C-alpha cells in the first residue's frame, strides 16, 4: 500500500510516496524527471514495495513539494537535496531508479556517495556524451521565448505536445496529472534548471572514468521513439557501465513506465529483486 509522507529538507517541504517497510536502511529510491512527480512511479512502487522499502519524492519545484524562489535549481542543488532527504529518512544504501532529469540528479548524488549506491536503473536517461538539447529545452533556455511558452501552455496543447514521440500514446489521466501540477512554480523551476545546465553531456567528459569504476548492478530501459533523448544513447551506456543489461522498447517513447507499464515492470521488478538480494 502506498503512503504519503512529508519531510522538511533544507528548509523545503518535500512530499514523497513510500511503500514497503519503513525501518530498513536500504531502499529503492525513484527520482522523476521534468515535469514529473512521485505519482509517476505508483505502479512500480506497489510492485517493488512488496519486497523492499521504496521512496519516491516530489523534487523541489515539482509535484506537491514546495517550489521556493531561493532553491538551488541546478543539478548539484537537486543532488544535495536528494542526499539530505535520504539522510532524513535514514536510508544508508539506495537502489536508484532514474528517469529524464532524475538521471543527472541521481548520478550526481552517486558520484559523491558511490559506496551508498546499491544498484542503478536508468529509464530514458543516463550518461550522455556529446548530447545537445532537444527543441523544447532550447525554447526554455531562450530568454523571453521560454517565458512566453510557459505563459501560453494549455491543457489541450499539453496533450497535443506529448503525442509527439509517443507512438503508443500516453494515458489521459497521466498527462492530466502532469498538467495539473504544471503551475507557475514548476514553470519557474523548469526555466531555471534548463538555463543553469549549459552542457548536458558534461558528465560523460568529467566523470566517465568514475562511472566505469562502479560495479553495482545496472539496468537500462529505453523507449525507442523518444524525441528528447535519442535511443542511440541506450547502447552508449555500456561505455560507462560495461555490464549493464539493456532493453529497448520498440513502441515506447520517453515515458515507457506510462505507455507500456506491464513490459517495463516485467523487466525492472526481477532486476530490482535480484539486486536487493545481492546487496543484503
> What is the reported pLDDT for 234?
98
Residue 230: name the closest of 248, 245, 242, 212 by CA.
248
Is residue 229 a contact partner of residue 125, using CB atoms and an 8 Å limit?
yes
pLDDT value of residue 112: 97
Residue 1 binned pLDDT confidence (cut-offs 50, 70, 90): confident
At a CB cut-off of 8 Å and minimum separation 6, what does 253 contact? 165, 166, 167, 168, 170, 223, 225, 226, 227, 259
Q: Identify the CA nearest to 55 among candidates 121, 2, 108.
A: 2
d(CA 61, CA 123): 21
What is the average pLDDT across 43-61?
97
Q: What is the pLDDT of residues 143-156, one digit of tens each?
A: 999 999 999 999 99
Measured between its terminal Cα atoms, the distance across the chain in Å is: 23
Average pLDDT over residues 116-120: 98
pTM of the entire structure? 0.97
Range of the domain at 125: 3-279
Read off the pLDDT of residues 58-108 as tens digits, 9 standing for 90 and up: 999 999 999 999 999 999 999 999 999 999 999 999 999 999 999 999 999
Summarised one tens digit per residue, pLDDT across range 174-217 is 999 999 999 999 999 999 999 999 999 999 999 999 999 999 99
The pLDDT assigned to 254 comes to: 97
pLDDT (tens digit per residue) in 240-278: 999 999 999 999 999 999 999 999 999 999 999 999 975
Residue 280 has pLDDT above 50, yes or no: no
User: What is the rounded distance in angstroms from the CA atom of residue 190 to the CA atom of residue 196?
Assistant: 10
What single string gives the DSSP state of each residue in 144-213?
Answer: THHHHHHHT--HHHHHHHTTTT-TT---HHHHHHHHHT--HHHHHHHHHHHHT-S-TTHHHHHHHHHHHT
**What radius of gyration, in Å, describes the C-alpha atoms of the chain?**
17
Query: What's the pLDDT at 76?
Result: 98
| CATH number for the domain that contains residue 275 | 3.40.50.1820
- Kindly list the distances between the CA atom of residue 182 and the CA atoms of 151, 153, 178, in Å, as whole numbers in the listed order: 11, 9, 6
In this predicted structure, the answer to whether residue 36 has a pLDDT above a threshold of 90 is yes
Q: Round to whole Å and give the CA distance between 258 and 171.
A: 7
**Mean pLDDT, to the nearest integer, of 38-65?**
97
Adjacent-strand bridge partners of 17:
4, 56
pLDDT at 24 (0 to 100): 95
User: How far is residue 179 from each of residues 123, 159, 175, 213, measured CA to CA in Å?
Assistant: 21, 9, 6, 39
Closest alpha carbon to 209 in 92, 129, 109: 129
Q: What angle do CA 3, 22, 186 make, to 5 degrees?
A: 45
3-state secondary structure 222-235: EECCCCCCCCHHHH
Overall domain count for the chain: 1
Amino acid at each position: 500500500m502506498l503512503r504519503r509522507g512529508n519531510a522538511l529538507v533544507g528548509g523545503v517541504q518535500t512530499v514523497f510516496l513510500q511503500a514497503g517497510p519503513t525501518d530498513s536502511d536500504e531502499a529503492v529510491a525513484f527520482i522523476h524527471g521534468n515535469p514529473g512527480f512521485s505519482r509517476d512511479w505508483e505502479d512500480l512502487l506497489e510492485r517493488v514495495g512488496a519486497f523492499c522499502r521504496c521512496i519516491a519524492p516530489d523534487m523541489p519545484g515539482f509535484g506537491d513539494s514546495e517550489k521556493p524562489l531561493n532553491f538551488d535549481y541546478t543539478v548539484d542543488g537537486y543532488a544535495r537535496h536528494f542526499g539530505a532527504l535520504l539522510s532524513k529518512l535514514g536510508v544508508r544504501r539506495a537502489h536508484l531508479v532514474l528517469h529524464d532529469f532524475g538521471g543527472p540528479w541521481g548520478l550526481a548524488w552517486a558520484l559523491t556517495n558511490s559506496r551508498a549506491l546499491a544498484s542503478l536503473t536508468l529509464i530514458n536517461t543516463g550518461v550522455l556524451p556529446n548530447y545537445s538539447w532537444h527543441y523544447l529545452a532550447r525554447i526554455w533556455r531562450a530568454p523571453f521565448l521560454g517565458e512566453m511558452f510557459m505563459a501560453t501552455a494549455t491543457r489541450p496543447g499539453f496533450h497535443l505536445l506529448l503525442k509527439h514521440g509517443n507512438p503508443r500514446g500516453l494515458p489521459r489521466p497521466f498527462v492530466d496529472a502532469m498538467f495539473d501540477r504544471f503551475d507557475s512554480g514548476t514553470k519557474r523551476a523548469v526555466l531555471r534548471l534548463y538555463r543553469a545546465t549549459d552542457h548536458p553531456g558534461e558528465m560523460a567528459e568529467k566523470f566517465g572514468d568514475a562511472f566505469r569504476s562502479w560495479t553495482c548492478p545496472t539496468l537500462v530501459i529505453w523507449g525507442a521513439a523518444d524525441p528528447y533523448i535519442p535511443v542511440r544513447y541506450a547502447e552508449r551506456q555500456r561505455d560507462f557501465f560495461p555490464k549493464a543489461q539493456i532493453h529497448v522498447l520498440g513502441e515506447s517513447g520517453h515515458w515507457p513506465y506510462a505507455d507500456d507499464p506491464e513490459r517495463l515492470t516485467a523487466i525492472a521488478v526481477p532486476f530490482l529483486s535480484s539486486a536487493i538480494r545481492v546487496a543484503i
